[in-house]
Structure 1
Amino acid sequence: MSWSFHGKIQLGGLLLSLLGCICLCVTTILPRWKTLSLELNEMETWTMGLWEVCVDQEEVATVCKAFESFLSLPQELQASRILMVASHGLGLMGLLLSGFGAECFQRVLKRRLCLLGGTLEASAAATTLLPVSWVAYATIQDFWDDSIPEIVPRWEFGDALYLGWASGVFLALGGSFACPPFLTIRPKSSLGISAGPQEEASCLLVNPLIS
């Protein structure tokens, strides 16, 4: 059996959404949203994430300490925690609904599930790109702040920010492919009778991705 063109689009959207969700989890957990290198001690590097701050010393194990209070975090990190957790829920729900929609045999229900799944995936992309970009903007503002003495070390972009941007792009593409334009309601004949056998009222687990 060969995959139809439409089926390949939906399958590609599901794979992109899954990849986006995986990158999203890594971005949220990874304590490398910001990095700081000390000129006086080049063997020591500080990294900061949403949940903890770590000190990486060469030839010595990395030591991490969780933030004691949510209110002690900078404003952008507080908002990032909330938005990233929300994006997890939106991304997972969108992926599940898109998967059910791809397996659905009933045309109208299939279209609704895919449309809702794609919308949730797009929302997850927005709630991912917003906090990542906000933290990046705040880091740039602090880096070029003239009120801070030049001798004071400056935070720079961490690897998690780049992974977060990639995650948002994957989720956005996956959401757009989840409900392509070909998902339209099948027209009825002029006599008001369907040309083929009537579709079931429920979502059957018959895979329409295979032609």
Structure 2
Amino acid sequence: MASLAAEIIAFLLAISGWVLVSSTLPTDYWKVSSIDGTVITTATFWANLWKTCVTDSTGVSNCKDFPSMLALDGYIQACRGLMIAAVSLGFFGSIFALVGMKCTKVGGSDQTKAKVACLAGMIFILSGLCSMTGCSLYANRITSEFFDPTFIAQKYELGAALFIGWAGASLCIIGGSIFCFSIAGNSKSPRMGYTYNGATSVMSSRTKVHNSAADFKSPKGPPKHFDKNAYV
């Protein structure tokens, strides 16, 4: 029961993390323009992996998609690839997890299901690492430009999508780790051994015959001394 509960908790954590990671791709605010040192803000600049936009004081937004994938900065291309890989791995990990869990009726024997569940945990961990790397790479570029005194262009701050991506990656890693540790704990559990001691009825009958013969041959009481007129 403990391993079954651990598998259910791991599945819920990993699926929740995968949903959060997937939600970061269409999220707008990966980076938002900084208002540090600005008295009056007339427009807000923000961008994600697919477009860059500006919102004026009236709330009207004008967006521009990135014109060419090959003309993008290297870190944006890397973040795109890592986040798409994280979403794809999480999808396959959820399928393997459903097959390998003990509460499902598919997957074959218990040993086969344990191997599939362990594979699902490793896939979720890899998905979380991809998402964590992608969000950290994007955040590193933002912070390096913000604290660079020679950078004179528009400076940005961390957007909400990065924190969502970090949270989802952490849940995927935790859920995948619980999957792997629960399967490892089940494989190391000791098995009870049984020994065959023969038929109970035969052994008991033999023991009774042996004990009765021994009692007849060697009496436990002290030897009796008969008088010379005992047989007269």
| Cα offset, 1:40, TM superposition | 6.8
**C-alpha distance in 2, partners of 1:183/1:91?**
24
Local SS of the residue matching 1:70 = coil
For residue 175 of structure 1, what is the aligned residue in structure 2?
Answer: 176
Change (3 A) 1:133 1:73: same
**C-alpha distance in 2, partners of 1:164/1:88?**
11
**C-alpha distance in 2, partners of 1:17/1:58?**
40
Query: Superposed, which structure 2 residues align to 1:50-129 within 5 Å?
Result: 50-102=49-101, 103=104, 104=107, 106-129=109-132
Larger mean Cα displacement after TM superposition, 139-148 or 53-62:
53-62
**C-alpha distance in 1, partners of 2:32/2:26?**
15
For residue 35 of structure 1, what is the aligned residue in structure 2?
Answer: 32
Gap runs ≥5 in structure 2: 196-232
Instruction: Provide Cα deviations, 1:102-158, integer angstroms capped at 9, x if missing partner.
Output: 024622111110111011001001110011111111111111112224xx4311111
**C-alpha distance in 2, partners of 1:49/1:101?**
36
Q: Which has the higher Rg, Structure 1 or Structure 2?
A: 2
Please say if residues 10 and 178 of structure 1, whose CA atoms lie closer than 8 Å, have aligned partners that are also in contact.
Answer: yes
2:26 is the counterpart of 1:26: no
For residue 7 of structure 2, what is the aligned residue in structure 1?
Answer: 10
Please say if residues 108 and 185 of structure 1, whose CA atoms lie closer than 8 Å, have aligned partners that are also in contact.
Answer: no
Please say if residues 18 and 169 of structure 2, whose CA atoms lie closer than 8 Å, have aligned partners that are also in contact.
Answer: no
Q: Which has the higher contact order (CA 8 A, sep 6+)?
A: 1
- In the alignment, residue 167 of structure 1 is paired with which amino acid? G
Please say if residues 35 and 157 of structure 1, whose CA atoms lie closer than 8 Å, have aligned partners that are also in contact.
Answer: yes
- In the alignment, residue 22 of structure 2 is paired with which amino acid? C
Sequence identity (%): 25
Local SS of the residue matching 1:177 = helix
Gap runs ≥5 in structure 1: 192-211
**C-alpha distance in 2, partners of 1:120/1:43?**
46
2:167 is the counterpart of 1:166: yes
**C-alpha distance in 1, partners of 2:126/2:2?**
26
**C-alpha distance in 2, partners of 1:40/1:51?**
30
**C-alpha distance in 1, partners of 2:125/2:68?**
31
The number of residue pairs the alignment matches comes to: 186
**C-alpha distance in 1, partners of 2:5/2:169?**
22
TM-score normalised by structure 1 residue count: 0.80
**C-alpha distance in 2, partners of 1:177/1:105?**
22
Please say if residues 142 and 156 of structure 2, whose CA atoms lie closer than 8 Å, have aligned partners that are also in contact.
Answer: yes
TM-score normalised by structure 2 residue count: 0.73
**C-alpha distance in 2, partners of 1:133/1:86?**
15
2:133 is the counterpart of 1:130: yes
**Which of 145, 150, 156 is residue 148 of structure 2 equivalent to?**
145
